């Protein structure tokens, strides 16, 4: 499971000109799910994201988490995070999980993030969306649940 996490002052999702979700200060989480991912991957990433210290404290250092600042999360399913561009010019998405597997894990991830104490807003799985992201900093972090299985160096 892969997540692109962006610190934002505000963000929102529109579908066909209608705002369906929006947040103030917090994180936008673009979430990619692959065939091998499980609920354990969702639990790992949810805990990591809720506690990731990427917000400024009163000393202007990145010391505070989403929980500390009582921020919100806008979670968008994005299978293109598993696009493979090694061959040719058009990405292959064969690593991305099919909707029957990805949608339940997307829902589970949001449930786990909510259980961490985060107010969670969402996109619409599989929909064509316009995502407004006011990335502050800019701060963008790439997380991958495979990292939990690698030895620390």
* Residue 78 is among the residues annotated as catalytic for this protein: yes
Q: Which of 42, 46, 24 is closest to 34 using CA atoms?
A: 42
Torsion 99-14-131-45 (CA) sign: negative
For residue 79, indicate whether it is catalytic. Answer: yes
To the query of whether residue 9 is one of the catalytic residues in this protein, the response is: no
> What does the longest C-alpha to C-alpha distance in the chain come to?
48
Q: Measured between alpha carbons, how far is residue 9 from residues 47, 71, 89, 101, 153 in Å? A: 21, 10, 34, 32, 34
Candidates 78, 93, 109, 153; catalytic one: 78
**Active-site hit among 6, 18, 25, 79:** 79
Question: Any residues with CB less than 8 A from the CB of 108 and at least 6 apart, and which?
Answer: 39, 42
Q: Choose, from 80, 109, 148, 153, the residue flagged as catalytic.
A: 80
**Looking at the annotation, which residues are catalytic?**
78-80
């Amino acid at each position: 499971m892969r997540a692109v996490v962006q610190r934002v002052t505000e963000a929102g999702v529109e579908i066909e000109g209608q705002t369906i979700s929006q947040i103030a200060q917090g994180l936008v989480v673009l979430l990619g799910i692959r065939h091998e991912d499980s609920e354990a991957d969702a639990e790992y990433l949810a805990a990591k994201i809720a506690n990731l210290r990427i917000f400024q404290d009163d000393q202007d250092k990145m010391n505070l988490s989403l929980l500390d600042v009582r921020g919100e999360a806008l979670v968008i399913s994005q299978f293109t995070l598993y696009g493979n561009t090694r061959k040719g010019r058009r990405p292959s998405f064969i690593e991305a999980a099919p909707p029957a597997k990805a949608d339940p894990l997307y829902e589970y991830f949001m449930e786990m993030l909510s259980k961490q104490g985060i107010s969670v807003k969402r996109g619409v799985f599989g929909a064509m969306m316009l995502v407004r992201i006011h990335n502050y900093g800019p701060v963008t972090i790439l997380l991958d649940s495979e990292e939990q299985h690698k030895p620390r160096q």
